[in-house]
């Protein structure tokens, strides 16, 4: 039996859960730490991320919000422009000392050719995004 590749990144952010959530879902705030992601943060809302591949070629990732539970859970589909199927990304927030535990999981890799390698690349990518969010939320403390 082959194990499903899993992308999972977790961090504790020294900021209130409400501030971390706001940084994720508010377009103006999110633009300060992830400027190239457009996200309509409501169920069935669309998302798009325009980025450049290692070869410099323009790429597009798209998806749709499946679940939204304010200050707790955001789940959406995720597919690069050359993928036949989407993965599922789940972002969970829980209260923790000294602030908020944030966990990102991306699943569905077994349905993609070269899923294990794609998962490894996405693990690195989500790690970078999570670190950007952590630095931003801790520096700003979010809305009070």
Q: What is the DSSP string of 128-144?
A: HHHHHHHHHHHHH----
State the pLDDT at residue 6: 86
Give the domains, in start order, of the chain with CATH numbers. 7-36+69-141 (3.30.530.20)
State the pLDDT at residue 141: 78
Cα distances (angstroms) measured from residue 72 to each of 56, 69, 104, 130, 140: 36, 5, 12, 16, 20
What pTM was computed for the model?
0.93
10 touches 104 (CB < 8 A): yes
The one-digit pLDDT tens for each residue of the chain (144 residues) are: 457 778 999 999 999 999 999 999 999 999 999 999 999 999 999 999 999 888 889 999 999 999 999 999 999 999 999 999 999 999 999 999 889 999 999 999 999 999 999 999 999 999 999 999 999 999 997 544
State the pLDDT at residue 2: 55
Secondary structure E strands in 3-86: 7-13, 37-39, 46-52, 58-69, 73-80
Q: What's the token pair of residue 124? A: 């690195």
């Amino acid at each position: 039996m082959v194990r499903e590749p899993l992308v999972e990144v977790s961090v504790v952010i020294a900021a209130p859960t409400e501030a971390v959530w706001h940084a994720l879902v508010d377009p103006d705030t999110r633009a300060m730490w992830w400027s190239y992601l457009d996200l309509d943060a409501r169920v069935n809302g669309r998302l798009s991320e325009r980025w450049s591949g290692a070869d410099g070629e323009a790429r597009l990732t798209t998806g749709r919000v499946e679940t939204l539970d304010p200050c707790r859970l955001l789940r959406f589909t995720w597919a690069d422009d050359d993928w036949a199927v989407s993965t599922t990304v789940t972002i969970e927030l829980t209260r923790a000392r000294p602030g908020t535990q944030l966990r990102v999981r991306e699943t569905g890799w077994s349905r993609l050719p070269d899923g294990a390698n794609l998962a490894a690349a996405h693990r690195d990518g989500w790690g970078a995004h999570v670190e950007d969010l952590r630095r931003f939320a801790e520096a700003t403390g979010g809305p009070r």
